[in-house]
Amino acid sequence: MTPEDLDALHAALITRPGFEGVKRDALAPMPQKGLAHDHIAIRGTGALLRVPRQSQFGLPARENLAYQIAGFTRAAAGGHAPRLHGAIEPSQSVPMGAVIVDHIEGRAAALPRDLPAIADCLASIHRLPLPGPSDRAPLAWHDDPIAGTLAFIEDQAPYLEAATGDAAARRMIEEEIVWARSFAADSAGRDQPITLVATDTHPGNYVIDRRGRAFIVDLEKALYGAPAIDLAHASLYTSTTWDIESGVEIAAADVADFYRHYLGAIPPALAHALEPWLMPLRRLTWLRSTTWSAKWRVESKKGKLKAKHAAAATEDWSAENRDAALIAHVEARTGDYLSAATVERIRAEWREPGGLASLLPG
């Protein structure tokens, strides 16, 4: 983020209630970790600016901002997400706008030690009461979360051929897509739990405070869908090895303990209803992440989107949006995720006797 970008943010920030007296030098950019946002601490206020570079749902800038406001507001009711303090509307000088939220002081998640805290965080969101039909917007509601996830996979799968020359990996991924289509067809119309979910729940999206409580700090993709997908995305290899600070492969026994801790933190009826969906939705979530890796490897080669404040869709994975070190890290991670050795190792969770599937309820 350039000094001119920070000047524009400051000029907009001091028009917001409660931030009129903030000095320009109070804005402190935080290290780049993710692909979709910048984070700017506002020293002396206990708040930070979360500044989108794009919408991962492809929304226009104003709709994306409204979506994030709703996601933070609703998840914060569980006590494990930052509270919202306001927002800056998109403009030519601040193209995607920004939300102003609590600056959660703490450290990156350490795995597997902090998996129980992450489970408690997710349980706090999944336990929240569901809104009636008239109160759901602007967040998406997936009546059929499996079909919704399959739609993401189908959208991303065409990138596989261009993204990797590993024919064995492509063959195995394509076999899993065939399974996913069959599973979606067989599951259509079956009742399954629907809750508020965070969606982007990989371990890099949590801050652990001094009491050991986990806070999820990325709620751009919150929606009403399958809680089992949140659990999978928090603990799959493609998630636990993603983050620069907290990336590590975790053992199957630790993953199983994570699931058991979570199931003990939610109402028994919800836990019982979730059990049959845990492993199939883990498999589906891995496919979503892996095909996204293919999409990123292709889309990141494009130039960045211009005039985002007025664009009809603001999804933008261009490598020009981030620094070279972060892009190199993502290149390495996505290359690993699309390799035959990694795909085969992950499939062993549900294909091999004694794999993770044998350790999970349901």
* 171 and 216 together in one domain: yes
Domain boundary among 68, 102, 136: 102
The SS3 call for residue 279 is helix
* 129 and 252 together in one domain: yes
Domain that holds residue 10: 3-102
CATH assignment of the domain containing 281: 3.90.1200.10
* 87 and 219 together in one domain: no
* 198 and 111 together in one domain: yes
CATH assignment of the domain containing 62: 3.30.200.20
Q: How many domains does the chain have?
A: 2
User: From the CB of residue 94, how many other CB atoms can be counted at a distance below 10 Å?
Assistant: 22
Per-residue pLDDT of the chain (362 residues; tens, 9 = 90+): 899 999 999 999 999 999 999 999 999 999 888 888 999 999 999 999 999 999 999 999 999 999 999 999 999 999 999 999 999 999 999 999 999 999 999 999 999 999 999 999 999 999 999 999 999 999 999 989 999 999 999 999 999 999 999 999 999 999 999 999 999 999 998 999 999 999 999 999 999 999 999 999 999 999 999 999 999 999 999 999 998 887 899 999 999 999 999 999 999 999 999 999 999 999 999 999 999 999 999 999 999 998 898 899 999 999 898 889 999 999 999 999 999 999 999 999 999 998 999 999 87
Compute the distance between CA of residue 203 and CA of residue 37 in angstroms, rounded to an integer. Answer: 16
* 117 and 91 together in one domain: no
* 63 and 31 together in one domain: yes
* 205 and 287 together in one domain: yes
Domain boundary among 83, 102, 121: 102
Domain boundary among 102, 129, 144: 102
**At a CB cut-off of 8 Å and minimum separation 6, what does 201 contact?**
118, 122, 216, 230, 231, 233, 234, 239
* 115 and 173 together in one domain: yes
HSE-up of residue 321 (Cα within 13 Å, Cβ side): 27
